[in-house]
Structure 1
């Protein structure tokens, strides 16, 4: 028998790293709950958790089996699902309360689902719940370059504002909200959650707490005197109607006004005034474009919009051909050269 050789006194046998035994009969809903509990412990927000549940629910509906085991999902399964999303599934197909469309699901939406599944399966693999990570070699779906969410032109903005009846509380509130979004570039969730004590009417700033900011960083945003005056009036009326503890934006029944309610109202308004697309984020893009056109710098804009990366801010500044012509006409270098040299045309 071969003898064991010890070269150094006090040497200890290296501990074997034992991987946990994989339970191949772990249902996908049980694996999801383990993942969600871990993410909640990390402090992810409820909206993110809801996204996890929705993404897995959509996948399970496509799989169609009564019981789905997490270890039965392979890379081929995921690729088949992605191809289904790309070529067959229509937007809102899983939501019976929303109108279906003949258009295919956007690449951005598909990639959001891919990122969610990638995060979940990586966690499950690292925890020893699955034997292999089916998302390891799955990449994002590529798409042709296309315009980001477009902003509104001046004529469209004027039509929107002119459509509101200031004698009606709900319409006057909506008009005030539109002006706020155009003045600050706030996300709709940040805007409708405002309370009067978040607005400094003397310094003309509003405060967005980290609890509702997407990047979890609080920030102060300047507002124009005109919009501040309108917000002050809205706050006075809301507190008069519904009490001093009311938020700034309330519905006509004294309940909290929601972003979904505002989207539905914009959807009805676009048909009334014949605008092809109209949703809250378009006001944010309109603010970003107009801020730059009016002489603002992109780094200050990044802070106002609460973007972690400058590349995101650049995507928000969508210039159409007319804007490009206007800017060139205003800043053309050759004009100064011609004027400086006295060149006659």
Structure 2
């Protein structure tokens, strides 16, 4: 069945807060979005607010008044997503968090609604899934299938090394600037406007990556771009190109049991970091996470990994050296 197109919203309307009588939910939302835009959120995040709001409007079938915005209506929406639409808990929770932020604003900041809906309208419990990662042998296969004699092939190899070594996100990767690469000290500065958290951070790079980057930088000097990774025409690389190139490597390497993507390299790098003796606190800083909960997910180990770590670091090793 063809999906219903998303509604289009006017995004430049600000409702006078002194005229709240008869304010509709859509008008409240436009007022809320003025605040969110002022926080400097990325275009992608802003678009997700509108998309998730539209999902709720599709459920209600029409705009609502403040009186119609009740806890029961929002809770029934969750039931609808779980039982009627059969959506995954993670998908449901993305939509719920957007609407919770909105109704909290309506209740606490503006007093447009009379119920503290956000206190009773909560994300659903989701099982903690193991985060997919590559084995060392799979990484070697992914690198081994690359044709380094072509520019795009060599670029893909460098990208794979940088992803695995620095643990950067795909969007952070394409925003790396040449001027922020310090080959002498082995680090890359990720500028705040190019990171998910909008906070700049340094990520270290190892000797193998430094060697590859030096060769790649010399080879792409003639493009004259401020960005590190560029197309054959010298344009800044897109995330879709990076994902496509890496997925192609996965097909050539015969890896069909898991997703071959930039984010899987990030998960893999985090796990290898811990397996090689790195501590979770420095890993948290490299990953750019403000909380440890995501770091814990990234470093979930298989039973074989745990057995290997135990054999290496068993407490008895300190007693019987």
Does the pair score TM above 0.5? yes
Q: Of 66, 70, 81, which aligns to 1:74?
A: 70
Unmatched tracts of structure 2, length 5 or more: 1-16
- Report if aligned partners of 2:225, 2:235 keep a CA contact under 8 Å in 1: no
In structure 2, the residue matched to 1:294 is 276
Query: Cα deviation per residue 1:115-157 (whole Å; 9 max; x = unaligned)?
Result: 111111111223133344543311210123332x222111211
Q: Radius of gyration: which is bigger?
A: 1
In structure 2, the residue matched to 1:333 is 315
Note the 1:175-254 alignment, pairs <5 A.
Answer: 175-240=157-222, 243-254=223-234
Q: Of 54, 57, 61, which aligns to 2:58?
A: 61
Offset of residue 60 of structure 1: 2.1
> Is 1:259 aligned to residue 239 of structure 2?
yes
> Is 1:39 aligned to residue 39 of structure 2?
no
In structure 1, the residue matched to 2:21 is 23
Query: Cα deviation per residue 1:245-276 (whole Å; 9 max; x = unaligned)?
Result: 34111223433212233223334443442332
Q: Of 106, 129, 134, which aligns to 2:112?
A: 129
Unmatched tracts of structure 1, length 5 or more: 1-18, 90-103, 341-345
Which has the larger displacement, 279-288 or 249-258?
249-258
- Cα 1:216–1:268 change in 2 (3 A) is same
- Cα 1:64–1:239 change in 2 (3 A) is farther
Q: What is the Cα-based RMSD across aligned positions, in Å? A: 2.4
Offset of residue 68 of structure 1: 5.0
- Report if aligned partners of 1:151, 1:318 keep a CA contact under 8 Å in 2: no
| Secondary structure, counterpart of 2:120 in structure 1 | coil
In structure 2, the residue matched to 1:100 is none
**How many Å separate the matches in 2 of 1:334 and 1:246?**
53
| Secondary structure, counterpart of 2:203 in structure 1 | strand
Q: How many residues align?
A: 302
In structure 1, the residue matched to 2:12 is none
**How many Å separate the matches in 1 of 2:22 and 2:250?**
52
TM-score normalised according to structure 2 size: 0.84
- Report if aligned partners of 1:173, 1:234 keep a CA contact under 8 Å in 2: yes
**How many Å separate the matches in 2 of 1:252 and 1:132?**
56
- Report if aligned partners of 2:197, 2:288 keep a CA contact under 8 Å in 1: yes
> Is 1:313 aligned to residue 295 of structure 2?
yes
In structure 2, the residue matched to 1:274 is 255
TM-score normalised according to structure 1 size: 0.79
Offset of residue 232 of structure 1: 2.2
